[in-house]
Every structure is written in C-alpha cells, then in structure tokens.
Amino acid sequence: MSAPQDANATDEPKAHDHTAATPASSDEIEKAQSPSQSVDNQKDGAQDNELASQKSAPPSEQEYPGPVQVAIIMSCILSAIFLMSLDRTIIATAIPRITDEFHSLSDVGWYGSAFSLTTSCFQLLWGKVYTFYPAKYVFLAVVGLFEIGSAICGAAPNSIAFIFGRAIAGMGSAGIISGAIVLMVSAVPLAKRPLYNGFFSAVLGISSVVGPLIGGAFTSNVTWRWCFYINLPIGGAAMLVILLTLEPTPPAAPGLTIRQKLAKLDLLGELLLFPCLICLLLALQWGGSEYPWSNWRIVLLFVLFGVLLIGWVVMEMFTQETATIQLRVIKNRSVVAAMWFTFSLAATMLMLIYYLPIWLQAIKGKSAVTSGIDTLPLVISLTVGSTMSGQLVGRLGYYTPFAMASSCLLPVGAGLISTFKVDTSTGMWIGYQIILGFAIGLGLQHGPIAVQTVLEPRDIPMGVALVFFCQQLGGAIFVSVGQNVFNTKLIAGLTEVVKNLNPHDILNAGVTELRDFVPAGDLHDVLVQYNEALRWVFIVSVIMACLSALGSFALEWKSVKGKEGPPTKENDD
C-alpha cells in the first residue's frame, strides 16, 4: 500500500473547468494581447502552451456523447468483443465435424493455435497503431479484418484455407479488445468507466463459456460453417452503427508524417517478437504430446525463444525513440502489477473454462451441449461479480481492494474445484463454480482500469494493449501447459491400472467416446485416473490463482475519481 502521491495527469477534469477542454476562440486570443511587445510574446508563448495542452487533455463532461449515443456505441463495441471472444471457444465442439469433412485430423492443433498465435503476436502492434491514428477507423479496420477471416473460415474448401482464415481472424481480434477500451476512453468519463469495464469482463467470460454450447447447437442443427458465418451480420451491423454514430477522436500522438509513423511502429522489434512468441507457443503445444520434451525440435524452439526474447529486450532498451514498450510505461508500478495480475487471472480462468466441461463429459457422462449448460453457474456468477465490482468501483473510486478480494477468493474457488472426485455431488460442483465465477468476475476488469487511471492519455493505448497481451498470453500458455499436464498424468495413471488397453488409445478416443471405448469392467478405474489427471490441471490453476496476489497487492491506491492513497475520512469527504 503506497503513500499518497501527486495527482495523476489522467484525473478527470471538473465539470465547470471549461477552459481545460475548449480551445480558445480567435476573439479571446485578440483580447488577451498586450500593447507591449515583450508581454505580447509572453502571452503568445503561454497561449501556445495552453493550446498544446488542450490537444492532449481529456474531454470534459460536456464533450462526451449523450447517454443514448453512449448506449448505442457501447452495445456495438460489446457485440464485437462478444464475437471475438466467442471465436476462441466456439470451435471446440465443431472440430470433430470439420476434421470429418476435410479428412484432416493431423491439423486439429492448428485450428486453435493459428488464432491464438496471431492474436498474441499482433496485440502490441495494434496498440502502437491506435496511438498514431484515430481509434474509430483503426477499430473498424480490425473488426473488418476479423470479419474477413470469419468469412474465409466459413467458406473454406479445405483445411489449409480454414487455418489461413483462423490466422486472419486472429490478426483482427488482437486489435478489438484494446480498441474497445480506447473508444470507451473517448466516450465515457474515467469515473464511469469501471461499470463499462465490468460489462466488457462479463461479455468476455460469458462468451468463453457459452462458445462450445453455441458451436454444438450450430454443428448439430445446421452446419459447422455457421459458427463463423454468424460473425458477419452481427459484426457488419456493429461496424455500420459505429461508423455513423461515433465521432472520430484525434490520435494520442498527432502531427506525425507517414514516414515517422512507420518508424515509430517498431517493425524490426515486431519481427523479433513474432517468431519469439511463435517458438514459445509451439514448444508448449508440441512438447509432451507431438514430441517428447527432450526431442531436438522442442529444445531448439525453447533456445530460439530465449535468444529472440533477449534480442527483443535489448532492442527495446536501446531504441526507446521508436520502441513498442516505452520505459516510462513499463516503469510504472501499477502497469507491471496490472500485467501480472491479468496474466495470472487469465491463466487460471482459461484453464478451468477449458477443462471443467471435459470433467463433466468424462466423469459425469454429459454431452458437449449439456456440459455447456452445466457451466452456467460459472457464467452467471462471473457476470454478477463483474457487474457488481464495476458499479462499486464507479461509486467508491478505488479498484485495488476489489482486485485484492479477487486474488483472495480465486484460490478458494479453484482449490475447491481441485477436490473433485468421481462421485462429487451435483450440489458441490454447482456451488464451487459459483464461488469461482464470482472471484473471476471481481477482478477481471481491474487491469485495464488501473492503466487507464495511472497513465497519461498518450500512453493509454499501449498500456491497455500490454494488459490484454498478458491476458491473451496467459491463456494461450497455460491452456497448453494444462494439456501437457493432463496427457502426462493420464497416461502414467492408465499404465498402472489398465493392462489390456493402450493408454494412448484411450486418450485419443476422446471424452465423448470414452464410455463406448472402455470395457465396463475397467471403466471405473479409467474414470478415477481421468479425474486424477484433471485434478492436477486444476492444481496448476490454483497455483496461478495464488500468484495473482503478487499483482493485485502491488497496485497503487489510485481512484478513478482523482483521489489517491487508501480510503480515509479526508479522502471520502
């Protein structure tokens, strides 16, 4: 808990301070001039400074759009976020049909990783682009790119075209969530943003959980291609409304030439970062499943990751003029804390969201669609926690205590999930989901809120991009880690208890075919080992939940209302 500091540059202007946001008229400038040349020069210099500060000053309360326009704009932005997040998980229940049609079982891993790879790689690049161009048009461009990728996936004639479409959609999705925050900054005052951030978090959580449910419904009743075609009308309508209703705002770094903008995009740094992340994610995806961890391919990928990471860090340090990550941003304690907190929270959330349905299908014998319905307690409690914390932060001003509460409750919820057994009752797995979902909802939005509060307006796009980069990377890394833990523990356990079946055959049979593949006499022993392997995955999520406290307890006590330091009687007056 830090001592109170000076007021931050991003604090909201008071409603009556019109000069902070309204440029002076020419008449006012003429009246301000003095007969004395020296005084006149001083006045001109002061005026230039005032006008320069006005360009970067946040808009006053009167300059924000009206409530109806804000509601329309935010509804469209939330629709885009929903589609982007939905695309990560909707494919889960569609993959069996896709592989049947394309005869491409060996490509299954790329269906998910092509999307996550490009999303992770382009996250920071889009953050830079939002700094140099009006956010409205950049956001429309990334949504359009996402729509193009979705159209390619829906119309794909073969597996290669489908993977290409997933990669294009991932490139677009990388800019959607950070762009949504930047657009919100231009439409909503800081003190009111926690409520909308709560809506963002709720939409992200809901779409992640209901994705397999919607995918299963489309695949069973229409065709798997509608998992991607559905993005076109909804995304297109959102783009049209944003185009017509949202006024473009000046970029955070205006006045640069095209050559200067290209130089500041740090393309050389991105060329090092892209293969660095690709090597890491491929090593985590292939290690222990496609190839042993000691295989030269996996070792080489980790070595390349380390070399490229060192090269990228060195380049960022010695090219601060054009670096993607500015030292003034990364040196801010709250920014680093928000990045780690978001990384840990995303790792915990994504691991549990991916493997809870597997537990329900394998251990409880649920279908893919029914397992999606059975995770509704998690969805509902996440929505309640996110909305409630957003409203309370908007009223109280402080986000730090809610992030701390999330870090305290999250290990409890994840820990209870890790106690699951084959005979765990319905009431227990529903109740544990409620605790877990509420804990996730309490903290999911506070990383972006923190960087919006502590950074200057020009640095907000990059700060937000860093937070969501960590969110994407945390999920991508630990879903792969969870897969490796699950495979390793399951094969080791089955080797001990099942003598007449090949453990790899049981693993490849999948959860939906498990009861048909395994003889009745061996089923209970197999289910026990399945449950034990999943428990180890849940234990990893407990560890990450505990580590999230390193971030939440390091956040500075700053208020979205402009107050700083822990709540005191003086602050609250």
**In this predicted structure, what is the pLDDT of residue 562?**
67
Determine the Cα–Cα distance for residues 426 and 439; give it in Å rounded to an integer: 20
pLDDT tens-digit series, residues 269-327:
888 888 998 898 888 878 876 788 889 999 999 999 999 999 988 988 888 777 778 88
- Can you give the three-state secondary structure of 296-326, one letter per residue? HHHHHHHHHHHHHHHHHHHHHHHCCCCCCCC
Angstrom distance (rounded) from CA 563 to CA 483: 44
pLDDT at 45: 44
How is the chain split into domains, by residue range? Answer: 60-257, 267-318, 332-573
User: Of the CATH numbers 1.20.810.10, 1.20.1250.20, 3.60.20.10, 2.30.30.30, which one belongs to the domain with range 60-257?
Assistant: 1.20.1250.20
Cα(366)–Cα(280) distance, rounded to whole angstroms? 34
**How far apart, in whole angstroms, are the C-alpha atoms of residue 526 and residue 386?**
38
What is the rounded CA–CA span in Å between residue 87 and residue 201? 16
- What integer pLDDT is reported at residue 28 of this predicted model? 40
Q: Say if residues 187 and 73 touch (Cβ distance below 8 Å).
A: yes
> 37-51, 161-175, 239-253, 266-280 — which one is most confidently predicted on average?
161-175
φ, ψ for residue 398, nearest 5 deg: -100, 130
pLDDT at residue 151 above 80? Answer: yes
Highest mean pLDDT among 173-187, 231-245, 292-306, 511-525: 292-306
CA 221 to chain CA centroid, Å, is 31
The residue with greater pLDDT, 399 or 22, is 399
332-573 maps to which CATH number?
Answer: 1.20.1250.20
Helix (H, G, I), strand (E, B) or coil at 516: helix
Residue 420: pLDDT over 90: yes
pLDDT in tens, 77-94: 888 888 888 887 788 767
Alpha-carbon distance of 165 to 289, in angstroms, equals 25
Angle (CA) 368-114-85 rounded to 5° is 55
Report the pLDDT value the prediction gives residue 438, as an integer from 0 to 100: 94
Cα distance between residue 164 and residue 114, in whole Å: 8
Contact 454, 562 (CB under 8 A): no
Please provide the distance, in angstroms rounded to a whole number, between the alpha carbons at the two ends of the chain.
21
Residue range 469-504, pLDDT digits in tens:
898 888 878 888 888 888 888 888 888 887 777 777
Fold match between 60-257 and 332-573?
Answer: yes
Q: Is the pLDDT of residue 573 over 70?
A: no
CA 22 from centroid of its chain's CA atoms: 35
Mean confidence (pLDDT) of the chain = 79
Radius of gyration of the chain (CA): 25
Tokens of 407: 């870090």
CA trace torsion 463, 464, 467, 469 (10° rounding): -100
- Confidence (pLDDT) at 509: 66
Cα–Cα distance measured from residue 469 to residue 481, given in angstroms and rounded to the nearest whole number: 18
pLDDT > 70 fraction of the chain, expressed in percent and rounded? 83
Q: Is 103 left (phi over 0), alpha (psi -120 to 50) or beta?
A: left
DSSP track, 539-555: HHHHHHHHHTHHHHTTS
Return the sign of the alpha-carbon dihedral for residues 451, 438, 541, 350.
negative
| 441 secondary structure, DSSP code | H
Tokens of 93: 């229940």
Judged against a pLDDT cut of 80, whether residue 257 lies above it is answered with no
What confidence tens digit (pLDDT) does each residue in 106-147 have? 676 677 778 878 888 888 888 888 878 888 888 999 999 999
Q: What is the pTM of this model?
A: 0.75
